Amino acid sequence: MVLYHASSQIVEFPEVRKTRYTKDFSWGFYCTNNYEQAVRWANRGKGEPVINYYEYESNSALSILTFEKMTDEWLDFIARCRSGKTHSYDVVEGPMADDTVWNFVNDFLAGKITRKQFWVLAEFKYPTHQISFHTLSGLDCLKFERSEIVYDRKRKG
């Protein structure tokens, strides 16, 4: 399977880096199987929008958590990770809490909306995909293929 990583640079050797803020599935190296989503990600920041291509071969010996869709378990996992908790999975895959969905997650965590209200608000968001690698064993499933600079024509036009 081909995966894409959006960046402002070529990433031939992926790394897991601890940063100031956690992401949906905690600290990790994030990719997607959705090319258009990768182009949007790459065009968000400064610098050249680089799409890195990787061949991904899953390893059944690894600890892999997969969320097929947004569920209560997915919401609880993201809430834990975004609050700074870590986990022991090598790879985690599932939908992405984009900025709008993340606002709903924050409201849910703050008690401003109920779980039921969260699902009503999140129901009509188009599906996204992310897969994150959290260990060296997980990263070993990726083989760098190439990279290219891709501008988002929708944003530039």
Output the DSSP codes for 33-87: S-HHHHHHHHTSSSS--EEEEEEE---TTS-EEE-SS--HHHHHHHHHHHTT---
Region 45-73 average pLDDT: 95
For the entire predicted model, the pTM comes to: 0.89
Residue 52 belongs to domain spanning? 2-156
- In tens, the pLDDT along 131-142 reads 999 999 999 999
pLDDT score, position 103: 86
Assess whether pLDDT exceeds 70 at residue 155. no
Q: What is the number of domains present in the chain?
A: 1
- In tens, the pLDDT along 108-123 reads 888 999 999 998 888 7
Mean pLDDT of the chain: 91
Chain position carrying tokens 């071969």: 57
